[in-house]
Amino acid sequence: MISIDEVVTPRPEAAVRGRSASLKALLLGCTALVALLLVSVVVAIGLGPAVVTPGETARHLWAALSGGRIAPDEVTTYQIVWQIRTPRVLLAALVGAGLSAVGVAIQAMVRNALADPFVLGVSSGASVGAVGVTVTGGLAVLGVHAVSVGAFAGALVASLLVYAASSRRGALSPLRLVLTGVALSLGFQAVMSLIVYFVPDGEATSTVLYWTMGSFGAATWGALPVVCVVVLAGLAVLYRYGRALDVLSLGDETAASLGFDPDRHRKVLLMLVSLVTGVMVAVSGAIAFVGLVMPHLVRMVAGATHARLLAVAPLVGAIFMVWVDLAARTLVAPRELPLGVITALVGVPVFIALMRRRGYTFGRR
């Protein structure tokens, strides 16, 4: 006979089989998402004012990667595909992946379903740093990396201010982190308004608008290596912190009872989030709602385990951002919509629908 205990508590063999099936499902899902991402990238590169078929796009990409030859009458199309659209689409995928992963980490770190880089003031601080460098011409000795360094410096200053204001005797309170971040975010937005006021020219205004609403219009091959290294390295580190994020999401008292130091891990995660966010904002501006909504959507499908979330959320975010950028540059061509407009138009209804969904509790499946 089978006892009640055996029914309630699966046998070790059943548990192993369950974990194996879950892992296979995760690998299958990630493989499907990678394939969808590759298709999305090829399609997005081909679409625009000058339409290039997916077959031609793939052929030009292969020629660029393998050093193949291009016919003289195809040089213009090749330059559009490789020099203009490819770095932009790849940058969109990287930023979408990074924002989604950072959103997952921040929501667990502060145990707040409304948390994202904007809520902690990191995005606003990075924007102020980037705009300040652009308008004043500071850090000119760094060349093309000046804006990136300025954005990271702004994100770092914002993080340090949030940490200093929300810590008490070396301990970080998640609630104080969120409240302080919201206040500092509003303060940084006021600083950007002052920049527009004291530098009243069209260039300053357009620069501030770019950094507050987001765009990939300035994407180049030169900007990709730094973003690629930082975002991919950040994703790898966050994935290794998956178990720590699981514990942090349970609360500090539970974490301490398990012999876990929540404050030490929260400090490390805050620095990592600042680095990744600063680099992304430096090349794309501040893009709202991606880091807020994507973790919740993925959590509904993949569950609340952060190792699974951090495997799936970056892929979903990358796919989403590739299509958002495509819409931004094609819906009202030849003009270009700010990315923040589209992400808000998509994110607000989705977020409201999530709140009204009875079977979903924020932070858990």
Q: What is the pLDDT of residue 361?
A: 56
Q: What is the pLDDT of residue 56?
A: 92
Q: 262-284 vs 146-166: helix axis angle to the nearest 10? A: 150
- Which of 306, 238, 309 is closest to 273 using CA atoms? 238
Phi-psi region of 31 (alpha: psi -120 to 50; beta: other; left: phi over 0): alpha
Q: What is the pLDDT of residue 103?
A: 92
| Coil/strand/helix, residue 316 | helix
* Class in CATH terms, 86-356: mainly alpha
Tokens 């807020």, residue? Answer: 292
Q: What is the pLDDT of residue 13?
A: 64
Please count the residues of the chain: 365
Rounded Cα–Cα distance for residues 310 and 316 (Å): 10
Rounded Cα–Cα distance for residues 46 and 362 (Å): 38
Rounded Cα–Cα distance for residues 317 and 95 (Å): 8
Low-confidence residues in the chain, pLDDT < 50: 1-9, 365
- Which of 48, 81, 100 is closest to 231 using CA atoms? 100
| Coil/strand/helix, residue 172 | strand
Q: The dihedral of CA 317, 320, 323, 329: what is its sign?
A: negative
CA distances from 349 to 295, 321, 339 (A): 15, 17, 16
Side chain identity at 39, as an amino acid letter? Answer: V
pTM: predicted TM-score of the whole model, two decimal places: 0.87
- End-to-end CA separation in angstroms for the chain: 34
CA distances from 51 to 46, 75, 338 (A): 6, 15, 22
Q: The dihedral of CA 298, 302, 305, 309: what is its sign?
A: negative
Q: 86-110 vs 306-330: helix axis angle to the nearest 10? A: 140
- Give the distance from CA 48 to its chain's centroid: 24
The two tokens of residue 32 are 């499907």
- Which of 237, 260, 315 is closest to 38 using CA atoms? 315
Tokens 């589209």, residue? Answer: 342
Whether the Cβ atoms of residue 192 and residue 131 lie closer than 8 Å to each other = yes
H-type alpha helices, the chain? 4-8, 12-46, 54-66, 75-79, 86-110, 122-136, 146-166, 174-198, 202-213, 224-240, 242-248, 252-257, 262-284, 290-302, 306-330, 339-356
Rounded Cα–Cα distance for residues 266 and 268 (Å): 5
Q: What is the pLDDT of residue 203?
A: 64
- Which of 285, 288, 274 is closest to 345 using CA atoms? 288
Phi then psi for residue 355, to 5 deg, are -65, -30
Q: What is the pLDDT of residue 105?
A: 92
| Coil/strand/helix, residue 364 | strand
Q: What is the pLDDT of residue 294?
A: 92
